[in-house]
């Protein structure tokens, strides 16, 4: 029994390790609180007409892949969207996939309360979905390393964690795959 107990405790502890140890910096798991849920619902109402949405791919991470990032910046051909650099030319994503990502964002259980990240190089969006409605730009940034959504719209900015359900589903495996 004395030999089995430490093994059981080690196995139990492994189940609770932050996911950043195995894949990412994500530390979520906390459902949105009432005030955050109201802000998320307002953000979705702020979407407006998304029919002109375009998807931009982020440059390499400026800290985690510093050399690659610096080469990309020096080469040019990028645009800054809400303080982050993306390749200037939007990538081709089927309209249906863009709609599915935005629909997923609209689902309350696709969000969790934002939490600080452990062992993370910092928020750096892999993608930005950008559109305008009524002359006002909207931006949804997705950071797969941190498991975060960041929405910019008429009501301001909202940052939440992408829930495990949303992250581990078709979002990263089909609609907007994890960049290599």
Mapping DSSP to helix (H, G, I), strand (E, B) and coil, where does residue 83 land?
coil
Mean pLDDT estimate for the chain: 84
Note the CATH number of domain 29-175.
3.30.1490
pLDDT in tens, 29-70: 788 889 899 999 999 999 999 999 999 999 998 988 999 999
Average pLDDT rounded to a whole number, residues 84-100: 97
Distance (Å, whole) CA 90 – CA 76: 15
Cα pseudo-dihedral 43, 45, 50, 53, rounded to 10:
0
Distance (Å, whole) CA 73 – CA 70: 5
28 against 16, higher pLDDT:
28
What pLDDT, on the 0 to 100 scale, is given for residue 52?
98
User: Does the pLDDT at position 20 exceed 50?
Assistant: no
Highest mean pLDDT among 38-42, 128-132, 174-178: 128-132
Using alpha carbons, select from 131, 163, 166 the residue that is nearest to residue 46. 131
How large a percentage of the chain has pLDDT more than 70?
Answer: 81
What pLDDT, on the 0 to 100 scale, is given for residue 73?
97
pLDDT in tens, 97-107: 999 999 999 99
């Amino acid at each position: 029994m004395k030999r089995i107990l430490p093994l059981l405790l080690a196995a139990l502890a492994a189940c609770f390790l932050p996911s950043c140890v195995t894949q990412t910096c994500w530390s979520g798991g906390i459902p949105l609180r009432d005030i955050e849920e109201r802000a998320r619902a307002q953000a979705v109402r702020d979407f407006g007409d998304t029919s002109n949405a375009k998807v931009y791919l982020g440059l390499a991470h400026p800290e985690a892949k510093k050399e690659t990032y610096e080469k990309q910046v020096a080469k040019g051909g990028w645009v800054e969207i809400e303080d982050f650099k993306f390749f200037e030319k939007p990538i081709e994503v089927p309209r249906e996939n863009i709609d599915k990502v935005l629909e997923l964002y609209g689902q309350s259980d696709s969000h969790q309360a934002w939490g600080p990240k452990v062992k993370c190089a910092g928020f750096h969006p892999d993608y930005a979905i950008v559109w305008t409605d009524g002359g006002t730009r909207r931006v949804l940034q997705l950071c797969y390393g941190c498991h975060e959504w960041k929405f910019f719209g008429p009501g301001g900015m909202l940052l939440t964690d992408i829930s495990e359900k949303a992250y581990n589903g078709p979002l990263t495996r089909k609609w907007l795959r994890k960049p290599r």
